């Protein structure tokens, strides 16, 4: 039976916990997963920026798309980013999770394999060491509920997904985004197409011919596919360029300040012009270090604040060095025979809990 995989900070070994009763199956699964070995990951440092940049190719997998692999059509694998689905607006909501997962299984993924990923404990800690403002508001909010509604709901969420034959991964010390990026690259190497199910714009840097997103649209009450062509039509650039642009202009939602905070004259127009000419942030910074690349104010800003921009890149670029191995058993056709019973039962349970909470005044048990 599928279970949630809890991965602690190194050097502790990977721990597994069965969701259901078969001890024999749990023991077998532990042996398979233990082959992943130690879950160490390199620390963030400014000296590793160039290596990271080459590794991630600016946050996008540069891989030629082929519709056929060894004469067979490529199969899709979905990665479900669970945490954002557990909120209705800014309020924790298991009803929101149940609603979107029900739509996802019945209208989007069907029997395609699905791998669900949760944010690990202290997952943002490495990035906050680099930049204390990174997701500061969300971090404080999540801490407020970590021992409350959403924290207690993780076990329920894992049970529901496990009964629907979806493996659930949660790596201590890692954000779900980085786990997904790591596994998505492995899936591409195995010849699969990848679909990331999430409203998180950070995943747009992964888009390619073989990587798509599907996003929940609350205003339309449905999931909507989002592809590389959609991205290019919307932004008139590729995801590689956009990641570099976000590093220069910052990302207010993630608490990442742009260069305009230290060089007020450096705006979007200047950034776009320079990136379209030089292609990437690292190329732009490397060129500015040896010759003039633009007007005096832009040149001075790029030279004086190069470390500032490289730090932004380390914070915003998704990492692919989480020590996890994509298991073949996660890539088989998903058995969906339990979906209807499990999800309808889950939603009925939430309705009953909500009524109970309203009757007795226990607001924390609201769905």
Q: Tens digit of pLDDT for each residue in 309-353? A: 999 999 999 999 999 999 999 999 999 999 999 999 999 998 877
| 100 lies in the same domain as 187 | yes
| 203 lies in the same domain as 246 | no
User: For residue 238, what pLDDT is reported?
Assistant: 84
Element containing residue 100 per DSSP (H, E): helix 94-103
User: For residue 240, what pLDDT is reported?
Assistant: 82
| 169 lies in the same domain as 306 | no
* 316, 333, 358 - which closes a domain: 316
User: For residue 149, what pLDDT is reported?
Assistant: 55
User: For residue 177, what pLDDT is reported?
Assistant: 97
| 129 lies in the same domain as 150 | yes
| 101 lies in the same domain as 187 | yes
The structural domain count of the chain equals: 2
Tell me which residue of 94, 176, 91 sits closest to 141, measured CA to CA.
Answer: 91
With a cut of 70, which residues of the chain have pLDDT below it? 1-72, 137-151, 354-367
Q: In the chain, count of helices (H) and strands (E)? A: 14, 14
| 159 lies in the same domain as 214 | yes
User: For residue 342, what pLDDT is reported?
Assistant: 97
Sheet bearing 211-217, strands edge to edge: 15-17, 4-7, 168-171, 114-118, 76-81, 193-197, 211-217, 222-226
Phi and psi based region of residue 71 (left: phi greater than 0; alpha: psi -120 to 50; beta: remaining): left
User: For residue 147, what pLDDT is reported?
Assistant: 53
User: For residue 228, what pLDDT is reported?
Assistant: 96
Determine the Cα angle at 161 with ends 156 and 163, to 5°.
95
Tell me which residue of 95, 108, 90, 89 sits closest to 160, measured CA to CA.
Answer: 95
User: Domain range spanning residue 273?
Assistant: 239-316
User: For residue 365, what pLDDT is reported?
Assistant: 39
| 123 lies in the same domain as 228 | yes
Question: What CATH number does the domain containing 305 carry?
Answer: 1.10.150.20
| 228, 239 Cβ separation under 8 angstroms | yes
Mean pLDDT of the chain: 80
Residue 213 lies in a domain: yes
User: For residue 333, what pLDDT is reported?
Assistant: 97
Residues 6 or more apart whose CB falls under 8 angstroms from that of 299 comprise 288, 292, 293
- pTM over the 0.75 mark: yes
Question: What CATH number does the domain containing 196 carry?
Answer: 3.40.50.1010
Q: Which residue has the tokens 């004259």?
A: 265
Element containing residue 7 per DSSP (H, E): strand 4-7
pLDDT tens figures, 174-210: 999 999 999 999 999 999 999 999 999 999 999 999 9
Residue 37 lies in a domain: no
Residue 90 lies in a domain: yes
């Amino acid at each position: 039976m599928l279970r949630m995989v809890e991965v602690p900070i190194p050097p502790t070994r990977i721990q597994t916990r069965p969701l259901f009763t078969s001890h024999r199956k749990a023991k077998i699964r532990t042996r398979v997963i233990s082959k992943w070995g130690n879950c160490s990951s390199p620390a963030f440092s400014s000296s590793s920026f160039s290596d990271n940049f080459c590794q991630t190719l600016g946050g996008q997998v540069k891989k030629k798309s082929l519709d056929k692999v060894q004469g067979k059509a490529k199969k899709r694998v979905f990665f479900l980013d669970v945490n954002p689905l557990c909120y209705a607006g800014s309020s924790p909501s298991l009803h929101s999770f149940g609603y979107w997962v029900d739509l996802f299984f019945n209208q989007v993924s069907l029997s395609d394999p699905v791998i669900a990923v949760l944010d690990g404990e202290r997952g943002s800690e490495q990035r906050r060491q680099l930049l204390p403002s990174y997701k500061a508001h969300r971090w404080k909010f999540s801490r407020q509920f970590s021992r409350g509604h959403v924290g207690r709901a993780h076990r329920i969420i894992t049970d529901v997904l496990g009964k629907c034959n979806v493996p659930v991964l949660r790596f201590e010390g890692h954000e779900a985004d980085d786990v997904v990026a790591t596994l998505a690259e492995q899936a591409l190497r195995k010849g699969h197409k990848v679909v990331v199910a999430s409203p998180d714009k950070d995943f747009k840097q992964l888009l390619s011919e073989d990587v798509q997103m599907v996003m929940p649209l609350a205003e339309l009450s449905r999931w909507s596919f989002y592809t590389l062509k959609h991205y290019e039509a919307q932004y008139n650039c590729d995801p590689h360029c956009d990641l570099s642009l976000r590093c220069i202009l910052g990302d207010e939602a993630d608490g990442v300040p742009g260069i305009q905070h230290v060089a007020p004259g450096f705006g979007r127009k200047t950034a776009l012009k320079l990136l379209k000419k030089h292609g990437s942030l690292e190329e732009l910074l490397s060129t500015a270090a040896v010759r003039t690349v633009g007007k005096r104010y832009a040149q001075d800003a790029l030279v004086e604040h190069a470390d500032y921009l490289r730090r932004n890149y380390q914070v915003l670029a998704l990492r692919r060095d989480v020590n996890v191995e994509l298991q073949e058993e996660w890539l088989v056709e998903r058995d969906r025979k339990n979906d209807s019973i499990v999800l309808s039962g889950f939603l009925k349970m939430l309705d009953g809990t909500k009524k109970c909470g309203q009757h007795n005044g226990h607001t924390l048990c609201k769905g």
